[in-house]
Amino acid sequence: MKTIDDLQVAGQRVFVRADLNVPLDGTTITDDGRIRAVAPTIAKLTERGAKVIVASHLGRPKGAPDPAFSLAPAAQRLGEILGQDVAFATDTVGASAAAVTAGLADGQVAVLENLRFNPGETSKDDAERGAFADQLAALADLYVGDGFGAVHRKHASVYDLPKRLPHAAGDLIATEVGVLKKLTEDVKRPYVVVLGGAKVSDKLAVIDELLGKADRLLIGGGMAYTFLKAKGYEVGISLLQEDQIPAVTEYMERAEKNGVELVLPVDVLASTDFPDLKTKAPADFDTLDADKIPSDKEGLDIGPKTRELYASKLADAATVFWNGPLGVFEHPDYAGGTRAIAQALVDSDAFTVVGGGDSAAAVRLLGFDENAFGHISTGGGASLEYLEGKTLPGLAALED
């Protein structure tokens, strides 16, 4: 896979597929981590005299313009981080995009409007996707893929466009792939994986793969209650995917057979009411043993005994991968489990990887120094699919 150091970019129009898919509260960015992550690649290209055209998706608009998903706030924030004016095209391949990109001087940057405002970006029809990729290719001379959070998508700007232009991986993607290789090739042991998040179905494939590679799996978040139910515990009104119980049961049996330590919560914070995430009003909850959740309560975080147990299971690790919060971290009363895992990683001598998505957001929301972790990924879904052993379309296109 070529990198941007292999490209002659001076005076060239360089299309950078970034991941500016940041969370917004109205037009206010609540976490700019993904913008900061790609900024060094863009800065390096501008310093070498490139005319940089940045493109990304944001959210899930339905193939048509929607002001709620405009990339204008991200473009403004990128300019602040780069310390230079960033032009903004109000469309993707229309008159505004043509004019803005044609007006770039060497070292200048422009951002196109949300790629998903065009149905060709996400189309499952190869011809429709290809036609959109042709229009994007007309704007540029070179392609740089640096949106790691999107490389698992077979989308026009990720998969089809690099086939139409000389291409290379940006520094962010090169870093992400290098980190993931440390989790899949010649892993230093003990190798401990922490999996949280809401749905066990989102993690089944990676659990399946890790049962042959990890030494320990620590399970938390909403997905833990399907495991607890599979053990015969009452889980009340906790998040539960009953249809996944057979798969979870089989995984627990296989873990024992393979000598993989699969660790579940021993206590939880449970309540009859889901917390108010807007006002953050104090929550009313009980701390209960994991096998004693009453029928009218919902588990919303791992309890203090589990936090201590999980920290002990991480203490001797040489490699740690963490994906998914351990509770409803957005509310201060249920952030303790996620905070405990983050702190255990900070305290560890292991090579620690935070696997993107909500885990990365939680680290920043809870005030941890990002430099205290080995790596914080920008792509939760992409990192999981890589660990599952899947071929990621965006990476495959860059390797051609």
Residue ranges at the known binding site for ATP:
203, 299, 330, 356-359
Calpha distance 160→141 (Å, rounded)? 15
Nearest to 197 by CA among 223, 228, 230: 223
Q: Which two three-digit tokens encode residue 248?
A: 């979870």
Of 199, 254, 305, 364, the active-site residue reads: 199
Residue of 142, 86, 146, 138 whose CA lies nearest to 111: 86
Strand partners, 357: none
Distance CA(370)–CA(386), nearest Å, equals: 22
φ/ψ of 187, rounded to 5, equals -75, 135
Asked if 278 is an active-site residue, the reply is no
Bind-site residues: 19-21, 34, 57-60, 116, 153, 203, 299, 330, 356-359
34 is annotated as an active-site residue? yes
Closest CA to 32 of 370, 336, 327: 370
- Given the residues 17, 34, 48, 154, select the one marked as catalytic: 34
Are the C-beta atoms of 101 and 80 separated by less than 8 Å? no
One of 130, 303, 327, 357 is an active-site residue; which one? 357
Contacts 24+ apart (CB under 8 A), 29-37: 29/73, 29/74, 29/77, 31/361, 31/364, 31/365, 32/77, 32/81, 33/360, 33/361, 33/364, 33/370, 33/376, 33/378, 34/149, 34/378, 35/74, 35/77, 35/78, 35/81, 36/81, 37/172, 37/378
State the catalytic residue, choosing from 303, 324, 381, 394: 381
Q: Exposed (0-12), middle (13-18) or buried (19+): which is 89, by Cβ within 10 Å?
A: buried
Which residues does the annotation place in the binding site for substrate? 19-21, 34, 57-60, 116, 153
Rounded to whole angstroms, the Cα distance separating 354 from 217 reads 15
Any residues with CB less than 8 A from the CB of 260 and at least 6 apart, and which? 210, 211, 214, 215, 216, 217, 254
Taking CA atoms, 303 is separated from 45, 133, 235, 300, in Å, by 48, 50, 14, 9
Orientation angle between helical segments 33-47 and 357-365, nearest 10 degrees: 100
The residues near 125 (Cβ < 8 Å, ≥ 6 apart) are none
Residues that are catalytic: 34, 199, 357, 381
